[in-house]
Amino acid sequence: MKFIKMIVQRKILVGLLTVLVLLIGTYSLQKLDKELFPPIDFDGAYIVIYADDMQSIEVERSITSPLENSIMAIDGVDSVSSTSNIGVSSINVFFERGSGDEVYNELETIVSSTTANITGIRDVVTGKYSTNQPYDFFMDVSGGDLEEMTVFAQEILEPRLEDLKEVSDVLLTGIQEHEIIIEFKQEKLLSEGMVISDVIGFIQQNNSEATLGTIKEEQDSPSLRWNTKFENVEDIRSMKLPSLNGFVELGDVSTITLMPKENSSDVWKNGKKDFIFVQVGRVANVTQIDMANAVREEVKKIEEEGLVKGFDVNFIVSQADYVQESIDGVSNNILIGGILAVIILLLFLRNLRATFIVGISIPTSILLTFICMWLLDYSLNILTLIGLGLGIGMMVDSAIVILESIYRKREQGLKKLDAVLEGVKEVATAVIASMLTTIVVFLPIGLLGGELGQFMIILSVVVAVTLISSVVVSFTLIPALAEKFLKLKKKKAVKKEGKLLQTYSKLVSWTVKKTRNSIAVIGIFFLMFVGSLFLVTKIPMTIMPDVFNRYAELVISMESGITPEEKQTVVEEINERLSSITDVESNYIIDDGTYIFAIINMTKDKNITREQKEVNEEIFRSLRELTETQPIVGVQSSMDAGGASPVQVNIKGDDFEQLQSLADKFIQELEAIDGVVGISHSAERTSIEEVIELNENAIEEAGLTNFQIRQMIEQAFLHFPIGEVTVNNETLPLIVTWEERINRKADLLNLEIPTNDGTSKLSEFIQLKSVNMPNAITHIDGERYISISADMEGKDLGSINREVQNVIQKFETPVGYTVAAAGDLEQQQELMVEMMMILGLAIFLVYLVMAVQFNHLIQPIIVMSIIPMTIVGVILGLVLTQRELSIMSAMGIIMLIGIVLNNAILLIDRTNQLRNQGEEIENALIEAGKNRIRPIFMTTLTTAGGMLPLALASGTSGNYQAPMATVIISGLLFATFITLLLIPAVCKLFSTVGKVGKKMFKKKNRSNKDESSEINI
């Protein structure tokens, strides 16, 4: 206690340090970034390559496979999966843990160098899986002529926004772009004796610029530059070309037009693409809120200047709005929780000075927490705010226990300094043990892998830092203030025990009087625990709760290999369904090649007619009905994990026809399993492909080669860019094609081919064979596979899994082909093992801390006997409130394990002190209960009161906070009342068992001694 004595004697030092904490804490709060989710980079990346209408088999051959081979050679790449669709290659790359940044840089380089040599690619998008997205603010320009909106967006909106110091860049999608198309007249070219490849070569040579040399002996050594680049359409049309009849203009053998490009945007607003999608990114060290305010202010200025005419600028979604709502909501909850905690203290202590002493520890602890968050480079986000909200109730626990102990010593007549020293000494062990048991439950969470693990670590660290800060304040500020300011009311002649205390003393006396009474109490509580388990099915369950912010973001999974036309139909149908839902204002559909993302905005403020939960349910119900008529596999929230079918089996191999045959056979086996329904596989959707079969003899007789035939067929489908032309500061692609295009097989087969003997139809040299090819080809680590998916009905996952595994083991495959389970089934098993290990390790660490603290192996077991009763409170709380059991509420249960033990530790610690003073176990338990009932009720009610606003919270983060807070409040309140009877009963039982064991041991020793004495005789 030398440290406490030094603290009390150095009040000025404590005061100045407190002022320093307040100053630095206020400064650090201003410096903390404010965002919706913490910036976390995951060990993975994605690559999406767009190749217009290229067939999936060609996408696989020319794009996906070469890229996969290069990527798998990178050191640090764990696995690669890909899907080759019509016109799109989607590749997911997963890195070895902790090697993300270095591997991603190398990945970008390889993707850039590999795709540069592949023809037919329109666009390449790469990115890391991360919560820290490049764009935080989204808006659109719509409701007018696309040409006018494009000019506005490119010449006014984009440069004005990029000039803002808070904005890093602006991305425009869906702007009106143009292209110059040269449509060649085939008959004209033939009559002029011109070859199309030569004509294209002449155009490219003419549309060029280059530095040819340097005139060294002239002043400043000027360079000599050649420039014959086209400057307008007329330059192209008047270009001279050599022919059999002399020189002709390009316009004589072709039609040249400047025309708008077909909108290639992958974003729809209310089912249409006639708008411009604007994404705004922020610079480093600027919060989302600051950036959003700056953008809104600039857009307002643009509108006031009259530059928005004939169209509208609409704000779609801003992360900053939800960040501000979350900060305001949690801040209000923390403030209300703090006030409730102070009121509870005042009711119990009925001493304004004592209440003030504990109350001042709350802002001090919070600001100390902000300093730690600033040093750890954490931001104010939905997770750290929830951590702070949960910590607000617990952060006064240690202060209450210490102050109540000092207060009681003063009531017993001790002087100020002696009361402080003795009071702190009496509870120091219990306070430290309570803090450690609450914190150690978070340590195993670091073992939880993936995205969930990283989120939970941040939440755990904030809660742990909050508790450590509160304990530091409790052992420094509280003793110093208590010694100086704590005063007692005048003592009454005789202080009687209250009715509550008298009733409690009688109950504990009856419980510990006889062992059978203790067994009866334990039995009653055990029956309560078993009975509560039957209520588990009444609890609503989900993976991640929704964020109720009048905005929804969904992931819509599509069937593999749907065509662009089918996708457009799906988008229109989705828009029709969403538009019919009351309180849905607008919807934006974004296609990333693999999934469709839906951003849904709802009415706000005075226009709200329905609760968001009701709107969300109708959205999901309406869109999921489309699975019966549209190629939609599933609809889920973007926050949900998993989402795949519960039964998933992958068949790997090289030949597509063989894979399809094996898949059909395996599906027949699955259909025989009772409970397996809705079976499908990833290669069900196919497209007809015409395979060219050559007539080698006819080609040879005509004096041609296979290469010449291929070249002529390629020229028949001429349509590709051959350069660029800058017109009015806009860079336009220069496209060449035929005026008369090949649209049917007959057109191709009737094509005239020049030979040594004149011309012949192409049908004399080739035949076309129709084959079905998959619209989507999937790979894992470069190897083809077909995924078979199924749902289940009327049976549990475990029994289905056993039967599926049995089918897999018996299923025969050719050499080079394998069948294995995959998907949710495998992931759920891994997650279950991880969670059980984390829970087991958390309980062991709690036991370890208490065993070391008490220097006893049995007493921690007595303390931990309260854990099952905590689960009873949790189940009752969730059933009565109908809060969802989710990852967030599960996190609350893990936290609760550490919190509920605090009261039991206080009770056992005081019992040990009384036993060491010579009290019998029965008297020690009764007295310990009487001594600790006030601090136990105070800490429990302040914790529950501090978290009550979170449990009742609504708004942006309310659905995240409320389940976790509900779990903690219900579990803690129930466990507290049970603790005061269960712990004495368990203590009494263990004491009796110990006495019986000692008697048996002594009796055995005595009989051994008697036997040895007889032998000696």
pLDDT value of position 997: 65
8 Å CB contact between 874 and 893: yes
Contacts of 742 (CB under 8 A, 6+ apart): 716, 717, 748, 751
Q: What are the distances in angstroms from CA 348 to CA 408, 560, 899, 934? A: 13, 65, 21, 8
More confident residue, 996 or 650: 650
Q: Which secondary-structure segment (H or E) carries 183?
A: strand 178-184
Strands 88-95 and 41-50: antiparallel
pLDDT value of position 165: 92
pLDDT value of position 42: 77
pLDDT-based confidence at residue 960 (cuts at 50, 70, 90): low
Sign of the alpha-carbon torsion through 55, 60, 61, 67:
positive
Q: How many CA atoms lie within 13 A of 127 on its CB side?
A: 12
Question: What is the chain's mean pLDDT, rounded?
Answer: 82
Rounded mean pLDDT, 707-714: 88
pLDDT value of position 280: 92
8 Å CB contact between 792 and 675: yes
| 794: nearest Cα among 679, 673, 636, 631 | 673
pLDDT in tens, 209-222: 888 888 888 888 88
SS3 content of the chain, % helix, strand, coil (to 5): 55, 20, 25
Q: What are the distances in angstroms from CA 493 to CA 404, 410, 489, 490, 872? A: 22, 16, 12, 10, 44
Indicate if the pLDDT at residue 542 is higher than 70: no
Q: In the chain, what percentage of residues exceed pLDDT 70?
A: 88
pLDDT value of position 1006: 59
Phi, psi dihedral angles at 908 (to 5 degrees): -65, -40
pLDDT-based confidence at residue 1017 (cuts at 50, 70, 90): very low
SS (H, E, C) 442-509: CHHHHHCCHHHHHHHHHHHHHHHHHHHHHHHHHHHHHHHHHHHHCCCCCCCCCCCCCHHHHHHHHHHH
| 177: nearest Cα among 723, 730, 568 | 730
Phi, psi dihedral angles at 67 (to 5 degrees): -65, -45
Q: What are the distances in angstroms from CA 576 to CA 371, 581, 601, 619, 625? A: 51, 9, 15, 12, 13
Q: Which domains does the chain have, with CATH numbers?
A: 687-774 (3.30.2090.10)
d(CA 140, CA 151): 14
8 Å CB contact between 891 and 964: yes
Indicate if the pLDDT at residue 435 is higher than 80: yes
pLDDT value of position 935: 81
Q: How far apart are the first and last CA of the chain?
A: 59
| 666: nearest Cα among 680, 655, 645 | 680
Indicate if the pLDDT at residue 345 is higher than 80: no
Q: How many CB atoms are located within 10 Å of the residue 135 CB?
A: 15
DSSP states of 362-376? HHHHHHHHHHHHHHT
Q: How many CA atoms lie within 13 A of 434 on its CB side?
A: 30
Indicate if the pLDDT at residue 548 is higher than 70: no
Q: Following CA atoms 182, 187, 192, 195 in sequence, which dihedral angle do they give, to the nearest 10 degrees?
A: 60
Q: Which secondary-structure segment (H or E) carries 664?
A: helix 656-671
Indicate if the pLDDT at residue 450 is higher than 80: no
Q: In the chain, what percentage of residues exceed pLDDT 90?
A: 12
8 Å CB contact between 666 and 788: yes
Q: How many CB atoms are located within 10 Å of the residue 225 CB?
A: 10
Listed as own residue / partner, the contacts of 583-586 with beta carbons closer than 8 Å and 24 or more positions apart are: 583/607, 583/608, 583/609, 583/610, 583/615, 584/615, 584/619, 586/269, 586/270, 586/314, 586/316
Q: What does R_g of the chain's alpha carbons equal in angstroms? A: 38
Rounded mean pLDDT, 406-414: 83
Indicate if the pLDDT at residue 493 is higher than 50: no
Rounded mean pLDDT, 491-496: 53
d(CA 891, CA 878): 14
pLDDT in tens, 452-489: 667 778 878 888 888 889 889 888 888 888 888 877 76
The pTM assigned to this predicted structure is 0.68
pLDDT in tens, 649-704: 888 988 888 888 898 899 888 888 888 777 777 776 777 778 889 999 998 888 88
pLDDT value of position 294: 93
Tokens of 898: 């550490």
pLDDT-based confidence at residue 203 (cuts at 50, 70, 90): very high
Q: What angle, rounded to 10 degrees, do the helices at 450-485 and 887-916 form?
A: 40
Q: Is 770 exposed, middle or buried (0-12, 13-18, 19+ CB in 10 A)?
A: exposed
d(CA 912, CA 858): 13
| 776: nearest Cα among 567, 556, 521 | 567
pLDDT in tens, 962-993: 788 888 889 888 888 888 888 888 888 888 87
More confident residue, 1011 or 830: 830
pLDDT-based confidence at residue 1016 (cuts at 50, 70, 90): very low
